[in-house]
Structure 1
Amino acid sequence: MASMSGVAANDSCVGMWEKLKAGKIKSCQFKVENKEIVPIEESVQEKGAPDAWKSFTQSLPESECRYAIYDVAIKLDMGPGVPAGERTKLTFIIWSPDSAPIRQKMVSASSKDALKKKFEGIQVEWQLTSPEDLDASDRISDLSTKSDIKTSGRGILSFEGIAA
């Protein structure tokens, strides 16, 4: 199905989403190329990659839009006497940096639904526009507002191994 912009998601995007949901990969980026959204094969991070969030954020282009999927790992304080709980969140990310060309940002915004509709089971969606948005503390703050993250303890202890 094509988006309002006429951009369609390539079927290989769904293959990447299925790998993420199955726990085979940690993340993957996508780009618009020739009126089609395609996975960027070299952006795929395997599950268990060290410093995955740092590698992911550093790989996002400074002035180009991207879509990404990321299996976020968080550790939660479950309350006194209860061991910390671990959760993952299947996350859809729209990276639209302020420095990207206006036309590219418009195509990205009007095409995201073509990709998003193919990803059944998205738990979190982030639209990020600056390096500050990629900071772990900003992501922790956002996740803390989710109703299924509430705990009887102190909330999120770590995000992707980064202490809260």
Structure 2
Amino acid sequence: MAVHDDCKLKFLELKAKRNFRFIVFKIENQQVVVEKLGGPSETYDDFTASFPADDILIINCRSPDSSRVRMKMVYASSKDRFKRELDGIQFELQATDPSEMSIEIVKARAF
């Protein structure tokens, strides 16, 4: 699975300049692409609201039970390469529904 250059550039921009609050990535046409850039004023609720209800997301590896098995396998096999491409990811959170990624859980993992 290829990682689009824009993913790396936006991630570096997030790390260095803090221009974004968050980035949501997805797999499209056999490569990882940027789905959404969260502006500096956006909140954690804005972040979670940007997730599709029944699709898989990469960075937090959210894989809802309603997702197709094939897509779960594609995302699972792509996750490690994607993390290697984006140097500096501090922690990983895997969740199958929003209750498993509450702000309290994220804070507990991050600190």
Judge same fold: TM > 0.5, yes or no: yes
1:45 aligned onto 2:38: yes
Structure in which a larger fraction of residues adopt helix: 2
Summarize deviations over 1:99-122 as a string: whole Å, max 9, x none.
Answer: 211111110000112211111111
Contact 2:13 2:19 in 1 (8 A): yes
Give the alignment partner of residue 52 of structure 2, picking from 42, 50, 61. 61
Gaps of 5+ in 1: 1-6, 69-92, 144-148, 150-164
SS at 2:94 equivalent: strand
In 2: Cα distance, 1:99 partner to 1:137 partner:
25
Gaps of 5+ in 2: none
* TM-score normalised by structure 1 residue count: 0.62
Deviation of 1:54 (Å): 0.3
Identity within the alignment, %: 33
The equivalent of 2:73 in structure 1 is 106
SS at 1:37 equivalent: strand
Deviation of 1:45 (Å): 0.8
Structure ID, larger Rg: 1
* TM-score normalised by structure 2 residue count: 0.89
Runs of 4+ aligned structure 1 residues displaced above 2 Å come to 137-143
Give the alignment partner of residue 100 of structure 2, picking from 114, 117, 133. 133
Deviation of 1:46 (Å): 1.5
Give me the CA root mean square deviation.
Answer: 1.4
1:12 aligned onto 2:6: yes
Q: How many residues align?
A: 110
Summarize deviations over 1:8-40 as a string: whole Å, max 9, x none.
Answer: 111111011111102111111111111111111
Contact 2:93 2:101 in 1 (8 A): no
Structure in which a larger fraction of residues adopt strand: 1
